[in-house]
Structure formats: C-alpha cells, structure tokens
Structure 1
Amino acid sequence: MRTRLYQAVAFAAVLSASATASSPVLSADLPPPALPPVYEQPLPPENVFEGWYLGGTIGGATVSYDFSQSNGSIDSNGVLGGAIGGWSWQSGPVVIGIEGDILGADINGSRHFNAGANLASPDINTMADLRLRAGYAITPRVLVFGTFGGAWANADLPITGPGGSGGSADFFGWSAGGGAEVALNPKWSARFDYQFTDFDSETVKYPGGPVTYDPDASTYRGSLIYRF
C-alpha cells in the first residue's frame, strides 16, 4: 500500500514538472496581443498660397466727395462686384505677389446746392485696381496680408437745375488695405479684405461753370479664389 502511494506521488511530480517546462513553448506559439491602431494626421499643404489665381469678388463701398460748390461733401454708398486675379510667391510663411481687379459698381449719392436750386448726383459705375500684396501665413492655411497700389474709377456726374448738365470723369489715385485669406483646400480659398482709395480731384465743366470733385473710397469685399 505504501509502495503504491509513493508511485502516485512520483507520477504527480513528473506531470507538474512536464507542464512547467512546456509553458514557455506554448506561450511562444500564441500571437502577441493586438495594439490599438495608430492614425497618422495628414500633413498640411506646403506653399498653398503660391501660384496664379483667379476669382470672383463682391461687396459694398462708401465714397465721400469734397465738392467745390457747397463747402461740404457728397456722401454716397452702394455695391460692387467683379473679377480678381494675380500671382503669388511663397517661401515658408512669407507671401509676396501682385494682383488686380476689375469691378462693376453702383455707388451713388446726391446733394443740393445753390439754395436747393441744383442737385449733384455722382455715381461711380466702374472701378479697377493694380497693387502689390505681401502677407504672412499665421498657420499653413490662414494668410493675413496688406496691399498697396494704384486705382481708377469712372463716374457719371450729372447736375440738374440752372446751369447744370450731364457730366463724367475718370479718377486716378492710390489704394491701400489688407485682409485675410483661408485655404479651403489646395485649389480653393476664401478671403475678406478692406481697401481705402484716395483719388485725385477732377474738375468738370458745366454750362453754369466748373465744378471740382475729390472722392475718397472705402470698399469691403468677400472673394472666392481658384488657384491654378
């Protein structure tokens, strides 16, 4: 009886040692535990503001005329819209370029003078700019910029009443402003900008005598840009 007990204990010890020895082998055969997936963030586009571009622009404007006949001014306001285009070079966050636009407009106002006998009604119907642009990309997709250049506008300048008639003039001057542009993707961007324009004065001859106009303009515009 005691012999059988010794045999059983010895057999159990052999089985335990065998299981311990085989455990590393079994563990090596098992696949490693799954790790959570790693998602790579897409890299931002480089020099997204570089190259040729063309777009549409629309906005509002106010124009104030110094007016020689009333010792005052004529205030006008209205809308404008048209095409904008240009070219930019980018190095890191720095952007430099040139751009221009051609705009149709309806910016009108009026003022009585000569004790109410006459009415001046200036109306700017076309504007254009050609200017330099310099900017800094505060993020890879957001550009802040300033502009400076020359500007032109054509205006109808009728005066009704004694000595009045139809009239028109071309105004030339300088323009400065700034704004921000956001790249929606590598091809499309949206922008908002403000421009101030100081036009030179022009004198128009009417049957009742010459009248001088000296306009300053402020424009506020939103644009959608396509980059080639």
Structure 2
Amino acid sequence: MKKFLAAAFFATTALTSAHAADLGRPVYKAAPMVEPYMTWNGFYIGANAGYSWGRDRVAGTRSDIDGFSGGGQIGYNWQWSPNWVFGVEADLQGANIESSFAGINTNVHMWGTVRGRLGYAWNNVLLYGTGGFAYGRNELTLGALSQTRTHTGYTFGGGMEYAFAPNWSAKIEYLYVDLGRETYDAFATTARSDFHTVRAGINYRFGGAPIVASY
C-alpha cells in the first residue's frame, strides 16, 4: 500500500511540474493578415501609338480628317490612399492626321498635351480621367503654296492602366483634342482642327515602383 501511494505521489508531482512548465512558456500568435496593395507613386516614361479622326474647318467648309500618330510621354503620380491617385503627364506625338477638299490639303504633323490625371486604383489596375492643355502644328497646302501654324486648345478623356510587372505598365486611352482656330495669312482664311484619338501605350516606372506593400 505504501509503495502504491508513493508511486501515485510521484506521478502527480511530475504531471504538475510539466503543466507548470507549459504555463511558463511564451505563446506566439501569428500576425494578422493585411491585404497588400500596389503603390503608383513616382516618375515614369513611356511610348504610345494610336489612331485619330475628326474634322477640319477651313474658310467655313468642314472636312473629315483622320490618320495615325505616335510618340512618348513622361509623368508623375501621387497616391494618397490605397485607391486614389493623382498625376500629371505631358506627351508629344509625330502625326499624319490629314484631309483634302476643294484642292486644299490639311495635315496635323505634330501634337501634344499637358494634362492632370485623377484615378481610382484596384491594386495593379488604375482607371482615370484626364484633361488639360493641347497644342499642335497644322499645315495648309494648295498647289505650291503652303503655310504652317501652331494651334493651341484643350483636351479631355480617360483610360485604364494595368501594371503587369514590378516596373512596367500598359494603358489604353481615349482623348478628345480641340486645337482651336488660327489665321493663315497666305490663304486669307482661318483653320481649326478637332479630333478624337484612341491609343495604346506602355510605361516604365523608376525607383522600383510600383511596390507591393501593406497599408
């Protein structure tokens, strides 16, 4: 009987000691999961190409214009929350947007914009609206007579940009461009061009942006 009681005492003591040792061990909990998001902050440069169509107005006569353009852009984005992105962008394109009527040819050889952008981002997808200043070089030709003028006006539109790699993103964009009216003294008339443009582009982002991080 004494041997049984002694064995029971030692067993109870061992279990109590083991339990006390377990209580003294630190308990580690897994960190809560935080949804990652991608920041659009920083400088970028890129290239674009697209198709334009619209109207010319020369000496009170309207004519359809169309053609292609291609060039480059540079910009900067600020992201002040996981979703809202503000940016500025400037672009410049060589172009061949032309028309011909009543023996007069018109051709927008070059155009560009300086715009603000305001967008809403879902991680690596950015939808945005844009608008600002537009300019272009237009040429009127009639036989051997030609004259070129710089036009200024405005632009607005929108687009979608998709980041497919740590530093690379692609976009598709629509712009309405109104280059305003200018006087062509050699023809004793005025001309105005406005057109729609749909274009695709690609951007390279500096400084390792965009970055996937916790917010």
**Shorter-chain TM-score tier:** 0.7 to 0.9
Match of 1:46 in 2: 38
Offset at residue 180 of structure 1 (A): 0.4
- Contact between 1:63 and 1:107, CA under 8 Å: does it hold in 2? no
**So what's the TM-score if we normalise by structure 2?**
0.76
More strand by share: 2
Offset at residue 42 of structure 1 (A): 11
Which structure carries more relative contact order (alpha carbon 8 Å, separation 6+)? 2
Question: Of 89, 107, 114, which aligns to 1:99?
Answer: 89
Match of 2:23 in 1: none
Question: Of 214, 222, 225, which aligns to 2:192?
Answer: 214
The answer to whether the aligner puts 1:75 opposite 2:103 as a matched pair is no
Match of 1:87 in 2: 76
Question: Highest Rg: 1 or 2?
Answer: 1
Identity %: 31
Question: Of 190, 204, 211, which aligns to 2:170?
Answer: 190
Structure 1 CA distance for aligned equivalents of residues 58 and 158 of structure 2: 29
Counterpart of 2:158, as a letter, is: G
Aligned length: 173
- Contact between 1:201 and 1:213, CA under 8 Å: does it hold in 2? yes
Offset at residue 109 of structure 1 (A): 1.1
Written as runs of structure 1 = structure 2, the 5 A alignment for 1:10-89 is 44-47=36-39, 49-68=40-59, 71-89=60-78
Match of 2:211 in 1: none
Match of 1:108 in 2: 98
* 1:52-90 Cα deviation digits (max 9, x unpaired): 00011011111311222xx43121111101111100001
Structure 2 CA distance for aligned equivalents of residues 73 and 159 of structure 1: 16
Structure 2 CA distance for aligned equivalents of residues 210 and 147 of structure 1: 36
Match of 2:120 in 1: 136
Structure 2 CA distance for aligned equivalents of residues 123 and 176 of structure 1: 22
Structure 2 CA distance for aligned equivalents of residues 104 and 94 of structure 1: 32
**So what's the TM-score if we normalise by structure 1?**
0.72
Unaligned runs of 5+ in 2: 1-32, 207-215
Corresponding residue SS for 1:92: coil
Match of 1:204 in 2: 184
CA RMSD of aligned residues (A): 1.8
- Contact between 1:152 and 1:170, CA under 8 Å: does it hold in 2? yes
Unaligned runs of 5+ in 1: 1-40, 113-118
- Contact between 2:38 and 2:124, CA under 8 Å: does it hold in 1? no
